[in-house]
Chains A and B, each alone.
Chain A
Amino acid sequence: MPLGLNFTQIFLHLFNFLLLFAILYFLLYKPVKNFMVHRQEVYRKEAEETSQNLEKSEKARAEYEEKLAQADREIAGLKAKSGEEAQAHYDRQVKAAKDEAEKILRDAREEAERQKAAIVQEAQKDISDLVTDAAEKLALHQSSQENFEKFLDTVEAGRAEAKN
């Protein structure tokens, strides 16, 4: 055969290569490939689990956030309510204090008026007593009309002062 071609040797080469193909496929290629697929599967599962866990935690976070918002709303409501109550209580207290103060002031005024009236009355009485004493003294020591007129003026002036 030209170029050293030999069909027997070609078939021997073919047999050798097919044998090698089978050996490499079953001993090397398939187990390594299977392991690579297995690893891919493991990582895919892990990724899936991670994604599911992430989804769950996102869901839980949303729930907690909703609960927190709800709690915040409740707290704000309670705060507003207690604020209102405190304001009402404060208003009541202030009103009561004002009423009390007004009452005290009124009582004080009344008392002051009473005391004033009593003092004036007492003063008038004292003045009257003084005047009476003075008049008696004057009547005893002076009998002139002039002195009597003076005496009357003094009395009048004393009354006017007492009124003011």
Chain B
Amino acid sequence: MSKKQQRKMTVIFVVIGVLLLAGIFLTAGASAQEEDIVTVIRDAVIHDTNKIALFGLEVNPGLISGLAVTGILTVFALIVRIFVIPKFTLVPGRFQMILETMVGYFSGLAEDSSPHKNRLLSAYIFAAGLYIFTGTMLELFGIQVVTTAGHSVALPAPLSDINGAIMMGCTSYLFIVVGGILNNGLGGVKGALKEFSLPISMSFRLFGALVSGAIVTELVYYYTALSYVVPVLVGVLFTCLHALIQAYVLTMLVALFYGEVSEPSEKKLRKLAAKAQKTEVRTAEAA
């Protein structure tokens, strides 16, 4: 970069900085919040104030976020299925590469963690990972919905709603238990039940991580002065990071525990080996 360009860039940054500072000071005290910060944070954690009407039910905004994520991903999947997948080539283009990397990552994680049986596991962690990631990234868009009290709230991550986090944790645990039963019968259940704290830890890990992100975002956006520059760090970077980290952690844990409970027992392995030996002998005799 030449000296002239450096000078130009410095001037631009200084002007932007001055404008931001002017904005902060001129708008200080101008915006009137409908709720105080304690109510906002309390509502972000337990959702007892702001409810959204859904077919006659009063639900948390997190559920609406979940439905929005499902809608967005459904439209995306439909578009990809109809317009992109039929045009897949053996030498992939950029978008095909992204899709294949996503599927290949979850498929590889499932194969590594559970080499014996992993078809269902890879599909589950693909869906769960995509749901957590997209749901958390939804926070960034700040989609507004109107509550039953007439307030406007931005849609939070679906898993920052404790009901959503409990659903994800318990479903993942049940999935692990079912995997154990399908692969190892009651022996598999024993292995899964040993980890009885898993649904609680998985649920609250998700809930804690996402609600903390939501609280920080609420705090930042509550005060007008913090709404300049700071959201770039705490809003965008933190959201992107914890979207990735939480999707990775949950899928990794599910894959690991599923692999553990679905691993064939020694008795089963002996049986399988004996069966394979018998088949070999029969084949040799037939030959």
A8-B57, A17-B171, A39-B90 known; A28-B163 Cβ under 8 A: no
Comparing B68-76, B136-144, B219-227, B229-237, the segment that makes contact with chain A is B68-76
Neighbouring B residues of A16 by C-beta, 8 Å: 63, 66-67, 70
Mark out the residues of chain A between 1 and 30 whose CB falls within 8 Å of any chain B CB in the assembled complex: 3-6, 8-10, 12-14, 16-17, 19-21, 23-25, 27-30
Neighbouring B residues of A77 by C-beta, 8 Å: none
A64 contacts the other chain (Cβ, under 8 Å)? Answer: no
A4-B163, A5-B166, A33-B103 known; A24-B126 Cβ under 8 A: yes
Neighbouring A residues of B81 by C-beta, 8 Å: 27-28, 31
A21 contacts B163, CB within 8 Å? no
Neighbouring A residues of B126 by C-beta, 8 Å: 24-25, 29
A14 contacts B167, CB within 8 Å? yes
A5 contacts B66, CB within 8 Å? no
Mark out the residues of chain B between 107 and 148 whose CB falls within 8 Å of any chain A CB in the assembled complex: 107, 122-124, 126-128, 130-131
B46 contacts the other chain (Cβ, under 8 Å)? Answer: yes
Neighbouring A residues of B104 by C-beta, 8 Å: 36
B276 contacts the other chain (Cβ, under 8 Å)? Answer: no
A47 contacts the other chain (Cβ, under 8 Å)? Answer: no
Q: How far is the CB of B125 from chain A (nearest CB, A)?
A: 10
B59 contacts the other chain (Cβ, under 8 Å)? Answer: yes
Q: How far is the CB of B20 from chain A (nearest CB, A)?
A: 37
B162 contacts the other chain (Cβ, under 8 Å)? Answer: yes
A13 contacts B74, CB within 8 Å? no
B127 contacts A29, CB within 8 Å? yes
A28 contacts B166, CB within 8 Å? no
Neighbouring A residues of B131 by C-beta, 8 Å: 17, 20
Bound complex: CA of A29 vs CA of B99, how far in Å? 9
A130 contacts the other chain (Cβ, under 8 Å)? Answer: no
A62 contacts the other chain (Cβ, under 8 Å)? Answer: no
B166 contacts A10, CB within 8 Å? yes
A14-B171, A17-B171, A20-B74 known; A29-B123 Cβ under 8 A: yes
B77 contacts the other chain (Cβ, under 8 Å)? Answer: yes
Neighbouring B residues of A90 by C-beta, 8 Å: none
Q: How far is the CB of B112 from chain A (nearest CB, A)?
A: 16
B88 contacts the other chain (Cβ, under 8 Å)? Answer: yes
Bound complex: CA of A16 vs CA of B73, how far in Å? 12
- Which of A10, A20, A42 contacts B69 (CB under 8 A)? A20
Interface of A toward B, CB cutoff 8 Å: 3-6, 8-10, 12-14, 16-17, 19-21, 23-25, 27-33, 35-36, 39, 42
